[in-house]
Amino acid sequence: MKDQDLQVITTLTLLTQLQLSACDLYNIDPLAKSVNIKGIKIRNLVSLQYLDVSNNHLKNVDRLSLFYNLKELYIGRNEIKNISKLAKLVRLQLLDVNTNYGYEDKYPDFLGGLEKLTQLNIIDNYTPYKLEVIKKFKNRIINGSLQISNHYKLRNLKFISSFNLQKLTIHKCQIQNLSLAQSVTEKYSSVTELNIVFCDIQDLDALEFKDVKILNLEGNKLKTIRNFCILQHLETFNISKNKFSDISFMQSSPLTTFNAQHNTIKDTSVLTSLPKLKELFLSINEDRYDYIDLNPLLHLCQLTKLHIADCGAFNIEILRPLTNLEELNISGCTNMGTYRLENQQKLIVLNLSNIKDSNVKFDFLKQFKCLKELNLSNNRGLDISNLPAQLTKLTIVNTAFRHISNIQDIYKLENLQYFDFHHINKINLSPISQMCRLKHLNLSKCEINSIQDLKDLTNLEELDISFNLVKIDTEIDYFIQSINISVIYLFKSLVKLNLSNSNINNLQAIKQLVNLKELELNENYRIEITPLQYLTQLTKLGLKDCQIQNIQALMPLHNLEQLNLQKNLIIDISPLKQMTKLKILSVASNQIFNFKAIQHLANFDEFSIENQQHFDQQTKRDIYKGNAEQAIYTSVNIFREIGIKRKNQKQIYLTIKHRVEQMFLKQNMNNASFMRNASFFFQQTIVDSQ
C-alpha cells in the first residue's frame, strides 16, 4: 500500500474501525496528517476507535498519538523501537505490541498512566523487559488479561500478584518460582483462567488460585497438584504432556472438561466421582507393561467428547451407555468386543483409524445420520462405497496396507470439503474430479504423474501432492517422471501448496497463485525459483535440498516468517536483508562466508546456520592441532559477527560445543585435556556474550 492510498482513507472522517494488517506499510504518517479548512485545523479520522496496523514494516508510530479516541490498537509484528508517545491515548482499553523485533524500551513507564487499559499483549518482544513496571496497572485492570511469552529471564510471577486480572497466560518462560502471591494469605483470587504452558513447572499449589475456572498446565513436569480440592469452581482442566501417573487428587471435582493425554495414568477410578464431566481426553496413556483402565467410563453418561486413542486393548461394550457422544476417538485401540456403536447416533466426529482388529467391518457407518468427520486411516481392506452422504471431512491415510477397494463411488460424497487420501498406491483421480466443493486435498505419496483430472476443483485452498515420484523402467535404465502441474494456475484460491520431492523444476505454472501463504518445494533438484518473486503474500517457504545457488528471486518476499534453505549451494544471503518478519530461518549446510547482511535480523524463534563448509574445515584444522580455544572461537565467532541477541542463545552455543566435541572425538579419543579446556573456554564464551 502506498502513501496516496492512505491519503484516500483520511477523507473518511466518520470512520471508527480501520484494518491495515499485512499491507506492506513502511510509514503511517499520511494517516495522521491534518487538513486546514478556512484556518481551522481538522484532524482526519478523529472518530477512529479501532486500528490494526500489525504485521507491517513500521518503525515509528508516534503520529498515532493524534487518534485520541482510540480504544483498541494493534501494532504487533513490526519493527517499532519506542511507543512512549502513545501515552496520550488515554482512552485505550486494549494494546497489542507483540513481536516487535526492534523494540528498545525496557518497559515503558507511561503504560501505568493508561487508566482504562484492561488488556495488554506483550508476547514475543525479545528484549528482557523489566516487567515489574506494569505494577502501575494493579488497581486499574478490571476483568483484564495479560499474556507473557518467551521471556527467558522471567524468574517468578510475584510482581503481578496484586493485579485484578481475569485471564493470565504464561508461555515458555522458564519460570523457576510459580508463587503468584507474596504470601499464602494473599490469594490470587481474581484469576478465572490461568494458562501456564511449556514452562517446565515441577511443583504447584492450588491455594494460589482457588477461584480459577479454566486451568491449563500443558507441557510441564508435574506429577501432582497440592491442595487441588480447594478448586471448587474449576470447570476445564488440562494436564496433558506432564508426568502424572496418579490422578486420585481430583476426587469429587466439579470438572466438565478434563485433558490428561500423554501421561502414564493407569488407574482412572476417580472419574466415577466426576458426574458433570462432558469432555474427556485420555489418549496415549499406556506403556509396555500395562494398559489404562477404562471401565470407569461406564458411569460417565453425560460425555459428549471422548478421546482414548492408543490406550491399548479395551472392551468396546463400555461405550454402550454413552448415548450422548458427539465426538469419539478410539484410534489405535484393540477392540475386545462386538458392539457396533448402535447407541451413538449423535456422533458428529468419529476416528476409527488403525483399529487393531483384523475382523472389524465398517459397514455399520451408514447408520450415522449426523456424522460429518470420519477418519478410517490404516485399516485393512476398506470398502468406502457405503459411507454417510453428509460427510464433510474424510481422512484415509493408508500407510499400513496402501490399498482401498472400490473408490469409484467417492464422488457421491458431494458435501465433502476435506479429503486426506495420501499414501495410496496409484490412485484413480477421476472420481475425485467431480468433488467440486473440496477445499483441502492431500494426495501425497499416491504415485500420480499428473493433476490434469483435478482442473475443475477451483475451490481448493490447500493441496498436497508431495512425494509423487513415478519410476519409469526402460530396457537399459530407469528415470523418475516429473508430475505434471500445468493446470495448477486454475486454483486461484490456494493458500497452502506442497510440491516437495516431486521432481519439479519449472514453477511457471504457480506464479499466478498470488494468494499463496505457504509453499513447500523441498527436495526438488535443479529447480528454477525465479517465478517465486511474484508470490509476495508468502509467509512460509521451504526450499530445502534443492541445489540452489542464487536466491535473488526471494528478495521481494517481505512477508516471509518461516524460510528453510538448508542443504543448498548458497554463498550470498544478502537478498534476505529486508525480511524483517522472519521468525524461523534455516540456512544450515550451505557455503556461506558472510552473515553481516542479516545482522539486524538476529531475533528469531529458530535460527540454524551450522555446517557451513568453510567454518567446519577451519574448526577441524584447529582440532587437529589440539587448539581447544581456537576451535570453539571459530565456531562461535559467526554469532558474534552478526551480533546475535536471542532468547535461546545458550542453546545454540551448546549445540556448537557438542558439534566441536564430536568432531574432536573423531580425531583423538584420548586427549582429555583438550576436552576440559574446550569446556572451560566455552562457558566463558557464553558469559562474555551475554
Torsion sign across C-alpha atoms 186, 190, 193, 196: negative
Mean pLDDT of the 496-521 span? 93
111 or 409: whose pLDDT is higher?
Answer: 409
- Please write the tens of the pLDDT for every residue from 415-450: 999 999 888 777 788 889 889 999 999 999 888 888
Question: 623 and 490 share a domain?
Answer: no
β-bridge pairing 40-43 and 34-37: antiparallel
In the predicted structure, residue 72 carries a pLDDT above the cut 60: yes
Residue 214 confidence class, pLDDT cut points 50, 70, 90: very high
Position 238 scores a pLDDT of 98
* Average of per-residue pLDDT across 86-112: 68
6-20, 138-152, 229-243, 441-455: which is most confident: 229-243
Rounded Cα gap, residues 524 and 100, in angstroms? 35
d(CA 367, CA 151): 52
- Tell me what pLDDT residue 477 has: 46
Q: Which of 458, 485, 504 is the last residue of a domain?
A: 504
- Specify the range with the lowest mean pLDDT, choosing from 86-95, 113-122, 137-146, 537-546: 137-146
Residue 549's identity, in one-letter code, is: Q
- What is the pLDDT at residue 303? 97
pLDDT band at 339 (very low <50, low <70, confident <90, very high): confident
Whether residue 577 lies inside any domain: the answer is: no
For residue 636, tell me if it sits in a domain: yes
CA–CA distance, 238 with 222 (Å, rounded to integer): 12
User: Which range of residues forms the domain containing residue 43?
Assistant: 1-141
Mean pLDDT of the chain: 78
pLDDT in tens, 235-251: 999 999 999 999 999 99
User: Which amino acid is located at 467 in the chain?
Assistant: F
Q: How confident is the model at residue 673 (pLDDT cuts 50, 70, 90)?
A: low
pLDDT of residue 524: 92
pLDDT of 202 over the 80 cut: yes
Q: What is the pLDDT of residues 459-484, one digit of tens each?
A: 999 999 999 877 655 555 445 677 88
**Residues 135, 6: one domain?**
yes
> SS in 3 state form for 487-530?
CHHHCCCCCEEECCCCCCCECHHHCCCCCCCEEECCCCCCCECH
How many angstroms separate the CA atoms of 537 and 510, rounded? 13
pLDDT score, position 636: 54
pTM of the predicted protein model:
0.74
For residue 612, name the pLDDT band (cuts at 50, 70, 90). Answer: low
Confidence of residue 140 (pLDDT cuts 50, 70, 90): very low
Task: Please indicate, yes or no, if residue 103 is contained in any of the structural domains.
Answer: yes
Of 459, 474, 504, the domain-final residue: 504
C-alpha cell at 326: 458427539
Reply yes or no on whether the pLDDT at 292 is more than 80: yes
| pLDDT at 290 (0 to 100) | 65
**Amino acid 378: pLDDT:** 85
Do 616 and 499 share a structural domain?
A: no
Q: Is 672 a member of any domain?
A: yes
Q: Say whether pLDDT at 329 is over 70.
A: yes
> Is 387 or 654 the better-scoring residue by pLDDT?
387
Query: Do residues 494 and 623 both lie within one domain?
Result: no
Q: What's the whole-number mean pLDDT along residues 534-543?
A: 96
Last residue of a domain, one of 472, 504, 536: 504
Q: Say if 146 falls within a structural domain.
A: no
Does 668 have pLDDT greater than 80?
Answer: no
- d(C-alpha 594, C-alpha 638), whole Å: 8
- pLDDT score of 241: 95
Torsion of CA 323, 324, 327, 330, to 10 degrees: -30
Question: What per-residue confidence (pLDDT) applies to 614?
Answer: 58
296, 267 in Cβ contact below 8 A? no
**Per-residue pLDDT for 165 more than 90?**
no
Q: Report residue 645's pLDDT band, with 50, 70 and 90 as the boundaries.
A: very low
Domain count, the chain: 3
**Cell numbers that stand for 296 in this block:** 470407569
pLDDT of amino acid 156: 61
Q: How many CA atoms lie within 13 A of 552 on its CB side?
A: 2
Query: Which one is predicted more confidently, 264 or 404?
Result: 264
Per DSSP, the three-state class of 463 is strand
Does residue 649 surpass a pLDDT of 60?
no
User: In which band, very low, low, confident or very high, does the pLDDT at 489 lie, cut at 50, 70 and 90?
Assistant: very high
Nearest to 87 by CA among 117, 57, 119: 117
Supply the pLDDT for residue 520: 97
Q: Is the pLDDT of residue 318 over 70?
A: yes
Residue 480 has a pLDDT of 65
Residue 407 lies in a domain: yes
Q: What is the C-alpha separation between 363 and 325, in angstroms, rounded?
A: 20
Asked if pLDDT for residue 141 goes beyond 50, the answer is no
Q: What is the 3-state secondary structure (H, E, C) of 651-690?
A: HHHHHHHHHHHHHHHHHCCCCHHHHHHHHHHHHHHHHHHC
Tell me what pLDDT residue 181 has: 42
Does the pLDDT value for residue 684 go beyond 80? Answer: no
Q: Between helices 649-667 and 628-641, what is the axis angle to 10°?
A: 150
> pLDDT band at 532, cuts 50/70/90?
very high
Q: What CATH number has the domain bearing residue 482?
A: 3.80.10.10
Is 603 part of a structural domain of the chain?
no
Domain assignment of residue 11, yes or no: yes
Does 503 or 218 have the greater pLDDT score? 218
Backbone angles phi, psi at 463, to 5 degrees: -140, 130
